[in-house]
Structure 1
Amino acid sequence: MPYHNLQSRSLAFAAICQAAYLVDKIANKGLCPDAAAFNASLHSIMRTSGDSPLDIFGGYESLQVGFKSMIEQLDNAGNNRNMQVTKYVIGMIALEKKLSRSSGALNMLGERINQVQRQLAHFDINDDSVLSNLDSIYKDIISNLGPKIQVNGNPASLQQVQTQHKIRALLLAGVRAAVLWRQIGGKRRQLVFSRRAMIHQTKQNLQRV
């Protein structure tokens, strides 16, 4: 893939952070704080071809939530790191690593995503039936790879079926972003040794929104 550069990796990592941030907010509030970011994250699951990272995630504006969350997670100057978001990001990356080693799971995932793509001819990405389908994909294929991501939040919100569907759909989107991040050279050690460069690049990306 021709996008092995800091700019592309920063976009993909911001998409992971965006999914994690939205999971945390929905788990605690029961409502999504940014519908456009939510829809962009879910649409990225459907874009499985070799498009550029910017095309996959729908442009800079679609990742605005992710840019802000990524800066909060990596830039500790303001002590703003949300440890729940950090935990979800680490969990998504760990699940992607398991997924990449299972050709059977990858093939099944491709088939199931194709089913959702056909469903989108009749329904919007945030329709209850589509969210239910994405929820099932995560439970059937991703979650079983282990270790499971434990989502913390408001029990009253987490007991709602629709909330559960949204959270698992976002976790699937986060794993999809982690797939791309790895494919274009993303590695966990970069979060330590290239952190300042990633923060600088992401602040530039935020200015492009």
Structure 2
Amino acid sequence: MSRTLYDQTIALAGVFQAAAQVQQVAHNGQCAESSFETSIRSLFATDPETTLDVYGGELKDLREGLTTLANVLSQQSKQQDVQVLRYALNLVHLESKLNRSKDMMSIVGNRIDQARHTASHFGYLHSNLIANLASVYADTISTFRMRIQVTGEPTILQQEENAARVRALLLAGIRSAVLWRQSGGRRWQLICNRRKVIAMARDLAEKANRAVYD
């Protein structure tokens, strides 16, 4: 796996895209369908040739994540930005714990592989697949002592479908955090290399926007 700033920014955008969608679902009960599908699809990209291939090979599919990454790292002026940053950092932290637990890592990988049939049969947006992926997260990663506390509208989060989407997105965020580590990403870089990451994310976001409208 390539370990350039480009690859690290792509993977980190995947983390922030999942985090942003968790925030949206928790507060509004919905998020952009295309971004959601990209995040869920990334869970099944187990043998990619490039970092971007994990997200379908098109920058436009990571447009929300790239924009969110640049905005949140450069300013946390809104409450939603603070929440997204907290989710993203917690996902990175949880991934480091998962990486130290090889048995659990294997279980997660096997469970996701078993869900591949559901994905190929029903598609990445089907409620059966989302519920399946949510159960993977609940049975494994959420058993760590450190858990991600998702805040939002209680009436929205109490709905089973929304709770499942949140857990499936958190699992997708963990997958992107794995990719970020594999591409050389480290937590200290979010402080020391923050300006470089922001600049790269903005440049890639502009390219993604152009790709959408070309």
With the length of structure 1 as denominator, give the TM-score of the two structures: 0.95
Q: CA deviation at 1:145?
A: 2.4
Residue in structure 2 matched with residue 27 of structure 1 by the alignment? 26
| Mean CA deviation greater in 192-201 or 80-89 | 80-89
Aligned to 2:39: 41
Other structure's SS at 1:208 match: helix
Q: Which amino acid aligns with 1:45?
A: L
Q: Deviations over 1:145-198 (max 9, x none)?
A: 231100000011001000001000000000000001011110111111111111
Percent identical residues: 35
1:5-154 → structure 2 map (5 Å cutoff): 5-32=4-31, 34-58=32-56, 59-76=58-75, 79-80=77-78, 82-154=81-153
Give secondary structure in 2 for the equivalent of 1:4. coil
What RMSD over aligned residues (CA atoms) do the two structures have, in Å?
1.2
In the other structure, the counterpart of 2:160 is: 161
**Rounded Cα–Cα distance in structure 1 between residues aligned with 2:86 and 2:194:** 17
3-state SS, counterpart of residue 46 of structure 1: coil
Q: Report the 3-state secondary structure (helix = DSSP H, G, I; strand = E; otherwise coil) of the residue aligned with 2:140.
A: helix
Bigger mean CA deviation after superposition, 177-186 or 140-149: 140-149
Residue type at the aligned position of 1:79: S
SS at structure 2 position matched to 1:122: helix
| Deviation at residue 50 of structure 1 after TM alignment | 3.9
Q: 5+ residue gaps in structure 1? A: none
Q: How many residues align?
A: 206
Partner amino acid, structure 2, of 1:187: R
8 Å contact kept, 1:41–1:57: yes
Could you list the per-position Cα deviations for residues 57-106 of structure 1 after superposition, in whole angstroms to 9, with x for gaps in the alignment? 12201110001110111112x83571111110111011101110111011
Matches of 1:69 and 1:41, distance apart in 2:
14
1:20–1:89 Cα contact (<8 Å) kept? yes
- Provide the rounded CA distance (Å) in 1 between the counterparts of 2:77 and 2:105: 38
Q: Which amino acid aligns with 1:51?
A: E
Runs of 4+ in 1 over 2 A off after TM superposition: 78-81
Deviations 1:114-135 (A, max 9, x none): 1111112311111111010000
Give the TM-score, by structure 2 length. 0.93
Q: Is the 8 A contact 1:17 1:66 kept in 2?
A: yes
145 and 61 in structure 1: CA distance in 2 versus 1, 3 angstrom threshold = same
